Structure 1
Amino acid sequence: MNSWGEDLRTGDIKGDTLTDYIRPKPRPRSGYHRYQFRLYEQPVHQDITLSPEERVSLGPWALKKFVEKFHLGSPVASTQFLTKYYKE
């Protein structure tokens, strides 16, 4: 059995994609935007689903409500970055 996180480190990730990643696309002259990524360990035997609103949203949605609904607890890893319109 792999150690905790080994599959993530090696890219041998098993599971279902709930939504594809779409890169940030800040509008011109809108300044910097902060993006955050949080990684949660999925509880055993807990199916995670997205609501129709979460599935199509490119903006913020109720992360706290989502975390509580699926009993995700605290993130096991996180990162954030700033970006702005690519020509500025």
Structure 2
Amino acid sequence: MYSALREGQTQGTTPTDYHPPTPPQKSGYHRYQFLLFEQLPDAPVSLSEEEKSSRGKWDLQAFITRFDLGEPVATLQLLTQNYKD
């Protein structure tokens, strides 16, 4: 499993497109977190309409529980600010 991930040999569906961080101008630094979970082979994951409409306002713990994702296998945090600041 982890060797396939390290070698980029993964497959699956993407429930939503990636949107880069876009902190508002003059709002200082913002922390963004990325969590990677192992998905069970026969357990499809989908987003609710509310989750699709807002990437920062939905209940992450409820999402993890709903799909029995357990603990993340990898995490990343970054700080960034608006590029015009």
Same fold (TM over 0.5): yes
Counterpart pick for 1:48 among 42, 45, 57? 45
> Which of these residues, 61, 79, 85, is aligned with residue 82 of structure 2?
85
1:19-49 Cα deviation digits (max 9, x unpaired): 0100011111101110000011112321111
Give the drift of 1:60: 2.8
From 6, 11, 15, the counterpart of 2:12: 15
Could you list the runs of 5+ residues in structure 1 that have no partner in the other structure?
none
3-state SS, counterpart of residue 43 of structure 1? coil
Distance 1:18 1:8 in 2: 19
Amino acid at match of 2:71: S
**Letter paired with 2:11:** K
Provide the secondary structure at the position in 1 that maps to 2:5: helix
Asked if 1:61 is matched to 2:81, the reply is: no
Equivalent residues, number: 85
Distance 1:34 1:60 in 2: 15
- Once the two structures are overlaid, the 10-residue window that deviates more, 64-73 or 47-56, is 47-56
Cα RMSD (Å) of the superposition?
1.3
Q: Which residue of 2 aligns with 1:32?
A: 29
**Sequence identity (%):** 48
